[in-house]
Structure formats: C-alpha cells, structure tokens
Structure 1
Amino acid sequence: MTGRMERRAFWARGAAWAALCAALALFFYTRPFTDLLPFIISRHAVPALPPALPPLLLAAALAFWLWVRTAGNRLLFPARLAAALPMVIALSVPLLPDTLLDRRWFGGMLALFFMAPVLRVLAPPMLRQTGMGRKALYLLCAWCRSLVFLLFVFLLFARGNPVPFFGALALLAWLSVAAARLSGEAPGRRLRLSTAAATLLFLAAPLHALGRMPAAPQSGKREGERLRAAMGLHVRPYLQNLRKDGVTIMWESGAPLPGRVLVGGEPEDLLRPESPPRDVRVIESPASLIHEVTVDGLEEDRTYHYRVVSNGVAGETGRFRTAHEKPEPFEFAVYGDSQEMFGWAEYLVRNRHGDVCKSILRDSPGARFVVHVGDMTFLGNEYDRWGREFFGRAGDLMRDTVVWPVIGNHEMGAHWYFDYFSVPNTDERYYAFDYGNSRFIVLAVEGYAAGHTYGPPERTPMDPGTPQYEWLERTLAGSADKTWRFVFFHHPALSTGIEGNFRPATRVFGPLFEKYGVDAAFSGHDHDFEFSVRDGMVHVVTGGGGGPVSPLRPNSKENPHARYFKGVWHHCRVRVDGAKLKVRAVDLRGGTFFRFMVDKSGGSRVVRWE
C-alpha cells in the first residue's frame, strides 16, 4: 500500500512539473514576451492564441503544482496560491491590459500582494508558533518582495538598464530566501541556485555595461568637442527648412558672437575659409545667440557642402541636397518621442535617442529628410534639456539631414521650440512643404488639455473656423496635383496604447482627410509602434524614438482598425516610388520587424502588410 502511494505521489509530482513547464513555455511564448528576445524567437512563429488562454492555463497549472507540493494542506495551499496568483496577474497585464488595468482588477492584485503574506503567517506551523517580532519581520520581508517584484516586471517590459534589472532580480531572490528562513522553512536547492544565478548576473551587469562602451578611444569625439568649444558653440550647426533652391543653416553660440556660413559644391572648396574661391557663397550672420542663416539661389536636387565660422574658428564640414519636385523615387525617415523622463528614471531605463539617430544614419542612408513627430524633450520650457536630450544626441544626424519638427505636448508651447526651428509658415505650429510627387503637412495636435502638467499653456485651436483648420483645408485643396498626401501630428487619431485615440483629431480632421484623399498619418505620443488602416487611410504611431517604450495596449477596444502593435525603439523608413509607397519599421539592430505597402497604380488605394 505504501509503495503504491509513493508511486502515485511520484507520478503526481511529475505530472505537476510537466504541466507547469508546459504552461510556462506557452505563457512566455506569446507577445510581448517574444518581443524581448527577437533574435531567438521569430514573431512569425508565435501562435495566435486567445490572450486570456495562456494566463488561465498558467494559473491552473500553478494551482495543480502547489496542490501536489503542499499535499492539499487546507492552510498552506491557499496561502501559497494567494502569494503566486498576483505574480501571474502582474505578468499578464501586457496580454490583457483592457481587463487587468481596470481599477477593480488592479486593486484586487494589490490587495492580494498585501494579504498573501498575512495568510502565510497563519499557514506554516513553525511560523504560527513564533513571536510577534519574527512574524512582523516576515511580513515586512514579504511586502518588500512584492514591491520589488512589481519593479522587476516594470523593468522587464520597459527594457530596463542591466544593473537595476538584475539588481531587482537578485534582491527578489534574496528576499525569497529570507522569507523562507523566517517562515521556518529551509530554502530549497532550486531557490538557492536561482539566488546564486541572479546574484552573478547582477555582479556581471556592470561588466556588460562596460562592454557596450567603445573599445577605441573616442579621439574624434573629443576633437569635435574641443573644436566646438573654440567656436564658442552651445548647439552645433544643423539644417532646417529644405527647399528646391535653398536651405536654412542654424546654430547656437554660448555668447552673442558673429558668424559666417560658406556654401560650395565640393568640400575642397571650403578648406580655406579665410580666402574661399569665388564660386563659394559667403553669408555673414550678425552677433547673436541663435543664428538662422537662409541660403537661397541654389540648384534643384544638387548636393552642396557648407561650413560655419564662429569666433574666428571654422567648424566641421556638413552637406545637404536640395529638394526637388520630380517624379523620381525618394526616401525619408520618421520617428518621435525622444524625450527623457524624470531624472531618477534615467537610472532605470536609459534613453535611446542617440541610438535611434545612429540607426537612421546606418539603416536609412538614403533618407532625404527626417520628420520628428514631437516630444523632443521632457520639459520644453527648461533650456538645458534641449541641448542634452535633443541636439546633443541628434547632432550628427541634423548636420547633414533636415529634421522637420512637429510640436508635441512636452514642448510645452515654449519659445525654445520656435527659436530652434525654422519652418515655412508664419504660425510655426503648423506648416507644409513639397518634395517629389508628395505634399507633407505638419499639424499642431498636442493632445493634452491646457494646464496639464506635461502640456502647453494653450492647446492650438483646431475646430472648424479656426486658423489651423482653414489653413489645412486650403493646403489640402491645393494638393490636387500631388500623388501622395502625408500628414504628421503628435497625438494619434487611432491608437490602442496607453494614451489611446485623440477623438478631436478624428472628429475634426477626419472628414478633411477623407475629402481630400490623405494617404497616411504619422503620429507619436504613445511610446510604441502601431499600424492601423481605416477606410483605406494608413495611420502609423511611431513613438519609439528614445523614451521608455511600453508594451501595454489598454485601449484596444477603442481602435478596432489596429493591425499590428509592438513596444520597441525604432524609426520608420519610407520610400516613395511613383504610385507605390513602401514603409519599413526598423529597430535598433537594423532589423525590419514590420512592413507595409500602399499601391495606387491601379487608380484606387490598396494596402498590404506583413
């Protein structure tokens, strides 16, 4: 009889372990977990399952495993189950955001995190018999473990820095060991091995961070810093307002200094700025802090080189290519939301704006220009952030490529936005420009209401009869000769992300977009990539420009037109080729994780994606 019971127990333990392992494999083989390891798991191999199925199967397998492990103890089993369920719920939030981010579910999860240690105090016989001091220590340790677990989940999905991520994992393991000892249980071998592994990973994390640093000395970077210091620059020269016959060159001095711009066809023409050749254009800029030099009279679709002289010192040579309106293929790039977060948040999740700019230079080398869809800094009314968060990281990109700006809520409507950028309209919050066979329209849709902590003092009016609305209708009506019409604004009209749809954009601008045949809208605000199609018009959210990304989709019911979503740092590479439009979403590794095409060659708009 005893042997039969032992065999039953052995097979029950085996079945419980097999069920738990299978449920865990299925749970972590779903998105967004697979997005964290794209080089191991292809997104095409992820099974299409109902989102509630993996969490339910994991909860059932976990309950079975705990029942077998506790031998069905009427106190210990519910206590351990109560401790495990909130962990499953927290990990399931990205799979079921509509449900689990509801206040009732979220409050229930926090209540379970709080009550589970209390149940554990009542369950183990050894802990019930200990004094109040030990019980209080156990409760404190268990509650701290719950908080650390929530931090670990946040860092997991936000792609946190290695040191805090593995630090949270190691602390979680050590608190589990401490809680086991305080409850009178000896930590099992698996827990001890997991703790040792997490500790080793935490200790190795700084080495990983050091390994990401360039091995060779950054002599070129140091030389560039010394050159900019000699020139008295705060922001290095960058390009704005690209046209068929010209461009605008800007820079910021640390003090009011005069400057000079030299523009020539070849870089060799600029080697002697003190006595340039006759065919080199020289434009003087009076003493100022922010310089804005307009260069006109250039040839269409031609490459030029330029050099800025400030404080009597000539800077590095940049280049640009004037615009054209020929029916020839061309490419451009789009990205947004490059801002940092709070000061302490940088230690948890590193800003990747610089990496996104490097990716554009490396993976979209044919981009004639770039559009940034807003939120360039965290607080646009703080001067220092513009140099640190935006220009300091995008300097190499902006030296040779025009970055067209879109005003977002984090620009706060501050004058620095209007001082630093030059666009072709008197009201610089919205404007338009043409390139090739396309018209590009930038709108002011900041989203947040006036008075919001991270919003402008006044939201740009957009209702019918307002200057922006009337200007938009005139601009769209005048684009009948263009094959493509693109619009760019910050707060998306269609989004399943944390911020969700901005209904006024849909209600007010939607009829104009449909009336005049707008082909695609690019937005940001939500820190993710999302692709939606509504009535043949494409909507793209490209908010992975450097700020912390989010895999959460709590507003999926509000946007039934969504076709693809991913929380990842990225940019969009767009190619216009006659009546065909091809768009690739490119991550920091240079891989294309999503692509779509719009074909108008047959007279109607056909959208395909993969």
Structure 2
Amino acid sequence: MSRAPVVTAGLLLAILLGTGPAAAKQPATAAEPNTQVPAGNRHYAASGFPDRIVASPAQDAARGFGVSWRTDAAVSAPVLEWVLAGDSPDVGTPTRVAATTQPLDTENGRAHYHRADVTGLQPDTLYLWRVQGKDTWSAWNQLRTAGSAAQPLTLLYFGDTQNKNLSHVSRVLRAGLKAAPQARLSLFAGDLVSGGDGQDDSEWGEWFAAAGWLPQETVVAPAIGNHEYFEEFEDTPQERRVLGRHWPVTFALPRNGVDAADTSTYWFDYQGVRIAVLDGTSALDLGTAQAQAAWLDKVLADNPHPWSIVLLHQPFYSPREGRENAELRDVLLPVVRRHQVDLVLQGHDHTYGRRGEGQAATPQFIVTVAGPKQYRLSAQARASMAPVGEDTQLFQVLQLDPQHLRYEARTVTGRLYDGFELTRDANGRKQKTELTDGRIAPRDCTRAQTLKGRADRCWE
C-alpha cells in the first residue's frame, strides 16, 4: 500500500514561503531587474573607503600601469603606493604616486574618482600596490608587469556583460579566472553595463562586485559600447549620442587615442601583441570612422610584435538578424586587412559567431557574449559563420607565444565551445588549425519568447 509523503512543519513553511523543493520546480514568472538594488536604495554610494579599484595597462605595459578608484567627496588627490613584491609582510618603503581627482554626481550622490599612473617599472616583475581613501587604504594588490615578446602570454576576453552583472555575470568572470589563473590581461568588448535607467551608478557598482579581484589582479582593457553612451534629447530632432559620464573616470586607460574619440580609443603593447581599441559607436553615429581608420593605420604600421588584435564593440560582420555595420566594413576593415590583423574581438550582438575571410588564416572575426541577455542568430550568420551559438554565456582564453596563438571559447560551466590555433612560421606566414577534440555541439535557443514576451530574443 502506498504511503502519503510526510510533510513536516518546516517543509510546509518552506513551501508556503516559496523556498522549498516544490517552489524550486516552479518556473520563473518575471524577468529579473538589471540590478539587485531595490528602488531608492543607495547601497553603492561612495564612502571614505576606496572602492571600484581597477588597473589598466600603460601604452608600454612592461613598464607601467594606470589605476582608477573611487571615494566620497571628502577625499581629494590621494596617493597610490607601490613596491616590489616580496614574501614578507614587511613590504619596505613604497614609492608614492599622487592621483588626480574628478567629481561625479549620480543617483547615489557625489563621488570622487581618482587616477594614478605608475611608471618606471621593470618587465615581468611582480609588484604590490594599494590606494588611499580617507584615513584608510585598500588591500595590497599583486600585479605582474608584461614580459618580453618572447614570453608566453595568457589573456581573457569577455563579450558584453551588460545586464544582471551581480546575479548572472559574476559566475562567468569567476569561471574565466579559474580556467586561466595565470592570465595577466582581461579584455572586455563593451556594454559592461546597460545604463540609461536611472540606476547607472548602481549598475557600475554591481559590475565591480561581479568582477571581484579580477580588476586588481589583471590589467583590464575595455572597449566602449553603445550602452556606455546615452541619448540626449531623445525623440526630438536634436537627439544625439553623448558619452556617458562614468566612462572617462572609471578606467585609467592610455591617453593615446584619436583626437575625435580621445577617451574611448587607445592602444598598447602587451608581451608580443599590439592591441588597438576602437569606438564603434563614435564611428557609426558620430562621424569619426575616417579619423579612427587613419589613426588605426598608424598604430598598426609600426607594430614590432608577431601578433595584433583589434578590439571593438560593434561587429564588422553581425550575427544578429537585422543589423548591418556597413561603415565599419567600408572604412575600417580595409585597414585591418592591409595590416593583416590576427584577431578582431567584438561583442554587441549577444550571440556567438566566428568567421574568417575565404581560405586565409587571418583575420578571425569573433562575436561573443558573457551576460544573460541573449539574442537570436540570423540566417546569414548560420550560413557564413562557424561555429555559431545562442543561449550561451561564454568566456574566452587566449594563449600566445611568438609562434603560436591558441584561442578557446568556453561556456560558463567550462565546456569547450570553439577553438583554433594559429601557427606563425619564420617568414610570418600563418596557418589555422581547428581544435575539435572535446568541443560541444553548437547550441540553439529552445524558447519561443522571453519572459517579457519578446520573440526576437532568447533571454533577457
């Protein structure tokens, strides 16, 4: 004779409260908000304690790096301290670098953002550094400068994080660091936050909360996305794109970009690779494509390294239905081809897709996504790219030495989704080999619509 299941008082209470096993089987009925911050809550307001601490590469990343951090308005012109790393808690006498300070007013009140540039360092050397707040300091952070072009390099590459950073993106960034604990550099392909919803500062707060120690233990090099801009005079004849106020103060990026987009374009050398970062939004919407092309031509013309990477937000070849970035292909793509760029790393379309050009090994054009917002692929993408993917959060690990470049795209659970290796001979000629062992099958979206009822997306 079958027996009825025993329901304890504790289990009954859990079910009634929506926390028990019965509740766990119930489907979600509403999409999550972009942040976990309740309306009107100022959880991410600045204080006297330094936060949002992020290191970025100097133009010559073997000799220095820049650091940005935030405090409340009581702190102006604080200092950064750095010293050679050692095994003793007695760090010795550090060198001090005075920071410059800029104010920023947001929904969380006024904050002061500080920037310090560390110079005169030695290549491939581990340094300790910390930043000052009001009568307090950050933790001591360890960061190793770039080595020579002959040394192997591991770096991480992430597509759009953008939405639900604390809730969903944090595990992608953690998975990347676990897969490549030796990584020294992290590239982000724009749209780090969504913005424009009156909670921009809380979104940035959750991006840093999601990133954890990554912005201090690796140098972070982001491209700017369209969501780092905002629409001024929206729905009027005067509507225009305006650079968001967080972007210029959040990162201490090299100041070597094109004049027409001087806070959102830059380049740097890192251990055998030259990386040029473009501003696709400015090129497409603000008329700077020609100026960026001329600048990129000069940056790539004197590249002494065996490898080159172009990082930007909007793809040259879009895998999403209904998107065309023709001006990027018309104006900037010829420069990429002329200088035989190896990788073009992109985001924006919230899907996965990779393609080359004919039988040539390079360039390889890649679009990927780290965040939970997921779009659908176009028929053109399925016909012209391989592999492609929907409904998948990914991170990428790149390993480079003078003769080899190995690329792996992995799902958030660590499974190999895509991979290839470029081999460079003594004459600079390159061959591509697909990495197929252990690669999972391409993934498609199985949902008819999102929780908000959108059929053009897979998840949001």
Q: TM-score range by the shorter chain?
A: 0.7 to 0.9
Residue pair 1:352, 1:545 contacting (<8 A) in 2 also? no
Is 1:299 paired with 2:122? yes
Question: What's the Cα RMSD here?
Answer: 2.9
CA distance in 2, matches of 1:492, 1:546: 17
Instruction: Please give the alpha-carbon distance, in whole angstroms, between the structure 1 residues aligned to 2:197 and 2:344.
Output: 27
What pairs with 1:528-547 in structure 2 (closer than 5 Å)? 528-535=351-358, 536=360, 537-547=362-372
Amino acid at match of 1:373: A
**Match in the other structure for 2:146:** 323
CA offset digits 1:332-367 (Å, max 9, x no partner): 1111211117xxxx9xxx952211111121111121
Q: Does the aligned pair in 1 maintain the 2:48–2:72 contact within 8 Å?
A: no
Aligned residues: 366
1:387 Cα offset (Å):
2.6
Structure 1 416/395 Cα, relative in aligned 2: closer, same or farther at 3 Å? Answer: same
Q: Distance in 1 between matches of 2:385 and 2:100?
A: 51
Q: Pick from 76, 92, 106: which aligns with 1:277?
A: 92
User: Which secondary structure does the structure 1 equivalent of 2:138 belong to?
Assistant: strand
In 2, Cα distance between equivalents of 1:574 and 1:499: 30
Q: Please state if 1:584 is matched with 2:408.
A: yes
Does 1:482 find its partner at 2:305?
A: yes
Q: List runs of 5+ in structure 2 lacking aligned partners.
A: 1-19, 29-42, 103-111, 230-242, 437-460
Q: Hey, what's the Cα distance between the residues in 2 that align with 1:495 and 1:534?
A: 14
Higher relative contact order (CA 8 A, sep 6+): 2
Give the secondary-structure state (helix, strand or coil) at the position aligned to 1:415: coil
Q: Which residue pairs with 1:266 in the alignment? A: 85
The 1:447/1:326 distance shift into structure 2, 3 A limit, reads: closer
TM superposition score normalised by structure 1: 0.55
Question: How many angstroms apart in 1 are the aligned matches of 2:100 and 2:337?
Answer: 47
- Give the percent of matched residue pairs that are identical in Structure 1 and Structure 2: 22
- Aligned residue runs from structure 1 range 448-597, under 5 A: 450=285, 459=286, 461-463=288-290, 467-479=291-303, 481-498=304-321, 500-535=323-358, 536=360, 537-550=362-375, 552-554=376-378, 556-557=379-380, 560-567=383-390, 568-597=392-421
**1:446 and 2:281 are equivalent in the alignment:** yes
Q: Residues 161-560 of structure 1: matches in 2 within 5 Å?
A: 203-205=23-25, 231-233=48-50, 235-242=51-58, 243-258=61-76, 259-266=78-85, 277-278=92-93, 280-285=94-99, 289-340=112-163, 351-379=167-195, 383-412=200-229, 413-424=243-254, 425-426=256-257, 427-446=262-281, 450=285, 459=286, 461-463=288-290, 467-479=291-303, 481-498=304-321, 500-535=323-358, 536=360, 537-550=362-375, 552-554=376-378, 556-557=379-380, 560=383
Q: In structure 2, how many angstroms separate the alpha carbons of the residues matched to 1:402 and 1:380?
A: 27
The answer to whether the 8 Å contact 1:485/1:518 transfers is yes
Secondary structure at 1:292 match in 2: strand
Query: Aligned equivalents of 1:270 and 1:237: distance in 2?
Result: 22
Q: By how many angstroms is 1:500 displaced? A: 4.1
1:471 counterpart SS class: helix
Quote the Cα distance in structure 1 between the aligned partners of 2:72 and 2:396.
34
Q: 1:449 to 1:330 in 2, by over 3 A?
A: closer
Q: Residues 565 and 277 from structure 1, CA distance in 2 versus in 1: closer, same or farther, beyond 3 angstroms?
A: same
Greater fraction strand: 2
Q: CA deviation at 1:206?
A: 7.7
In structure 2, the partner of 1:159 is: none
User: Counting helix residues as a fraction of each chain, which structure ranks higher?
Assistant: 1
Q: 1:580 to 1:317 in 2, by over 3 A?
A: same
1:560 Cα offset (Å): 4.5
Q: CA deviation at 1:310?
A: 1.3
SS at match of 1:446: helix
Equivalent residue letter for 1:204? A
Partner of 1:605: 430
TM-score, with structure 2 as normaliser: 0.72
Q: Is the 8 A contact 1:373 1:523 kept in 2?
A: yes
Q: Is the CA contact (8 Å cut-off) linking 1:370 and 1:401 kept in structure 2? A: yes
* Alpha-carbon separation, structure 2, partners of 1:438 and 1:318: 25
User: Aligned equivalents of 1:319 and 1:581: distance in 2?
Assistant: 26
Asked if the contact 2:310/2:343 (under 8 Å) is kept, the reply is yes
One-letter code aligned to 2:432: V
Report the equivalent of 1:58. Answer: none
Q: Quick one: which amino acid aligns to residue 423 of structure 1?
A: L
Where does the alignment leave 5 or more consecutive residues of structure 1 unmatched?
A: 1-199, 209-225, 451-458
Q: Which residue identity is paired with 1:283?
A: V
Alignment of 1:54-69 (within 5 A): none
Distance 1:286 1:608, change over 3 A: closer
Match of 1:131 in 2: none
Give the counterpart letter for 1:388 in structure 2: G
Q: Which has the larger radius of gyration?
A: 1
Give the residue type in structure 1 aligned to 2:65.
V
